[in-house]
């Protein structure tokens, strides 16, 4: 007898970290695909459709169609997807509608969704952010929240007052707290030593996140509070794994920013599933522009390029883990 398959809705009623680690183990991957719609980099055929009449409706459709192709290509290889809110917001309501439809598309496929929005506030305002993105129903209306995602990136600079309201919105949702980010100037603040000159700011943030999440650890040994750890800093990856053994790591920088796979391997826990390479541009935009110039070829060009790059990253991290 075949096992009863869990519905997408039932699946989301599970501890976020458990769900991520289970999927990573199932497909043997540590890749998270970022969705950063930049229409200037879309296949020329899709760009031309928008330029014909500058219609917001066409823009929305084009973004959704592009995402459909990328998700089709990468879903067998991706543990989760990470839409970046700013790339949708820049296109106004059309972009937000495209985000809404992309979230629905991923939910229908039971694929974990991490919204990269880096929200940051305290008390009622933090709660409102959480209700917007993590609640299962909308305030007052009480209907299904079609904006709902499974996890959200947040800034922990305001302390626990800026974290707890997000946690309280939903008992299953996850957070990723900024710790050591991938950008070159991150060290201007994150690498500063604290007063005792024993640990850096980013290390203290990891210790705080560990403390904030200590009551939220799931069956797979990870808490609902993970860390954003740039794969561009392998020494920080290893150090943070030692400091925060129960945190999932969301690791941008692999691909377009040139980070190595070894950094992701160093961030993995003893089970090999604690760290995930988050790659956007290299997966989304590696297609041959000439093949993207007409209706018949653009989709195939995107599918082939995205799947090839996703497989490359998945295999690269696996090899680095084997050599660890």
What is 100-117 written as a DSSP string?
HHHHHHHHHTT--BEEEE
Assigned token pair, 187: 């060290």
Q: CB-based contacts of 280: which residues, under 8 Å, 6+ apart?
A: 33, 34, 35, 36, 82, 84, 252, 255, 256
What pLDDT, in 10s, does the model give residues 130-153?
A: 999 999 988 888 788 899 999 999
pLDDT value at residue 9: 61
Q: For residue 188, what pLDDT band results from cuts at 50, 70 and 90?
A: low
What pLDDT, in 10s, does the model give residues 87-126?
A: 999 999 999 999 999 999 999 999 999 999 999 999 999 9
pTM for this entry: 0.93
Domains along the chain?
8-323 (3.20.20.70)
CA angle 199, 202, 205 (to 5 degrees): 95
Is 220 buried (19+), middle (13-18) or exposed (0-12) by CB count in 10 A? Answer: buried
270 is catalytic: no
Catalytic residue among 118, 195, 238, 270: 118
Cβ pair 189, 156 in contact under 8 A? no
Q: CB-based contacts of 88: which residues, under 8 Å, 6+ apart?
A: 37, 63, 95, 96, 98, 99
Q: What are phi and psi of 301, to 5 degrees?
A: -60, -45
Give the helix ranges, DSSP H, for 54-186.
Answer: 56-74, 85-89, 92-108, 123-133, 164-169
């Amino acid at each position: 007898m075949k096992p009863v398959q869990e519905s997408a809705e039932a699946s989301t009623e599970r501890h976020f970290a458990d769900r991520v680690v289970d999927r990573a183990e199932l497909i043997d991957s540590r890749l998270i695909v970022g969705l950063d719609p930049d229409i200037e980099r879309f296949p020329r055929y899709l760009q031309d459709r928008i330029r014909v009449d500058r219609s917001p409706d066409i823009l929305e459709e084009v973004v959704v169609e592009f995402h459909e192709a990328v998700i089709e290509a990468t879903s067998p290889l991706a543990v989760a997807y990470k839409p970046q809110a700013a790339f949708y917001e820049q296109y106004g309501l059309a972009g937000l509608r495209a985000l809404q439809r992309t979230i629905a598309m991923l939910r229908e496929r039971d694929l974990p969704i991490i919204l990269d929005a880096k929200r940051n506030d305290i008390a009622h305002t933090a709660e409102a952010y959480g209700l917007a993105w993590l609640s299962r129903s909308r305030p007052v209306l009480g209907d299904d929240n079609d904006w709902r995602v499974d996890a959200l990136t947040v800034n922990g600079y305001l302390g626990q007052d800026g974290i707890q309201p997000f946690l309280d919105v939903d008992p299953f949702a996850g957070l990723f707290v900024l710790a050591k980010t991938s950008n070159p100037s991150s060290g201007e603040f994150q690498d500063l030593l604290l007063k005792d000159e024993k640990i850096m700011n980013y290390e203290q943030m990891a210790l705080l996140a560990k403390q904030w999440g200590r009551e939220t650890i799931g069956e797979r040994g990870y808490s609902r509070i993970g860390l954003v750890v740039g794969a561009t800093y392998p020494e920080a990856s290893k150090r943070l794994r030692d400091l925060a053994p129960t945190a999932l790591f969301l690791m941008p920088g692999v691909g377009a920013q040139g980070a190595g796979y070894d950094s992701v391997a160093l961030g993995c826990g003893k089970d090999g599933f604690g760290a995930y390479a988050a790659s956007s541009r290299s997966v989304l935009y590696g297609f041959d522009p000439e093949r993207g110039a007409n209706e018949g070829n653009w989709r195939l060009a995107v599918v082939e390029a995205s799947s090839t790059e996703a497989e490359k990253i998945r295999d690269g991290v696996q090899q680095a883990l084997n050599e660890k």
